[in-house]
Chains A and B, each alone.
Chain A
Amino acid sequence: MIEQIRNQARKLLEDGDVDVVIGYAEGSDPSRTTPVFIRKAKDVDKLIYDPRCINSLPLYLNKRHEYTRKGWKKTAIIGKGCDIRAIVQLIAENQLKRDEIYILGVPCEGQVSHPEKWDGSLHDGNRATKCIGCDVMTPHETDFFPGTKPDVDRSSPYEVTSPKVANLMELELDKRFAFWRTDFDRCFKCYACREVCPHCSCNVCITDETTPSWIDPAAHKKGVFSWHLTRAMHLVGRCTGCGECTRACPMDIQVDLFNQRMKEVVQESYSYKPGYSLEDKHPLITYQVDDREDFIK
Chain B
Amino acid sequence: MGKKIEIHDFEPKIMAFVCKWCTYSGADLAGTSRMDYSPNVRMIRLPCSGRIDPQFMIKAFEQGADGVIISGCHPGDCHYNEGNYYARRRNTTFRQLMDFHGIDIERIEFSWISAAEAIKWTEVIDAFTEKVRELGRHPQYDDEIVDPYAQFLVQKDQESA
Query: Hey, which bits of chain A sit against chain B, CB under 8 A?
Result: 168-169, 171, 173-181, 206, 214-216, 218, 220-223, 225-226, 228-230, 232-233, 236-237, 257-258, 261-262, 265-266, 269-270, 283-285, 287-289, 291-293, 295-297
B100 contacts A173, C-beta separation under 8 Å: no
Tell whether, in the assembled complex, residue B102 and residue A233 are in contact, meaning their CB atoms are under 8 Å apart: no
Which residues of B98-112 are within 8 A (CB) of A? 98-105, 109-112
A252 to B64, CA, bound (A): 28
Which residues of the partner chain A approach B124 to less than 8 Å between Cβ atoms? 297
Q: Is B85 an interface residue (CB 8 A)?
A: yes
A88 to chain B, nearest CB (A): 21
**Please, which residue of chain A has its CB at the minimum distance from the CB of B64?**
A222
Residue B141, interface by CB 8 Å: yes
Write out the residue numbers on chain B whose beta carbons fall within 8 Å of the beta carbon of A258.
97, 100-101
Contacts A222-B140, A265-B96 hold; do A177 and B88 have CB atoms under 8 A apart?
no
Residues of chain B at the chain A interface (Cβ within 8 Å): 54-55, 58-59, 61-62, 75-76, 82, 85-86, 88-105, 109-112, 124, 139-141, 143-145
Structural contact, A291 and B88, CB atoms closer than 8 A: yes
Contacts of A230 in B (CB 8 A): 54-55, 58
Instruction: Please name all residues of chain B whose beta carbon is closer than 8 Å to the beta carbon of A177 when the two chains form the complex.
Output: 101-103, 139
Chain A residues whose CB sits within 8 angstroms of the CB of B99 once the complex forms: 173
Q: How far is the CA of A174 from the CA of B138 in the complex (A)?
A: 11
Find chain A residues with CB under 8 A from B109 CB: 297
Q: Give the residues in chain B near A292, CB-CB below 8 Å.
A: 92
Contact B141 A222 (CB under 8 A): yes
Closest residue on chain B to residue A172 by CB atoms = B102
Across the interface, B97 reaches (CB within 8 A) one of A169, A226, A262, A269, namely: A262
Residue pair B102, A178 in contact (C-beta under 8 Å): yes
> Which residues on the B side are within 8 Å of A221 (C-beta)?
140-141, 143-144
Partner pick for B100 among A176, A220, A222, A225, CB 8 A cutoff: A176
Q: Is the CB of A287 within 8 A of B102?
A: no
Min CB gap B105→A, angstroms: 8
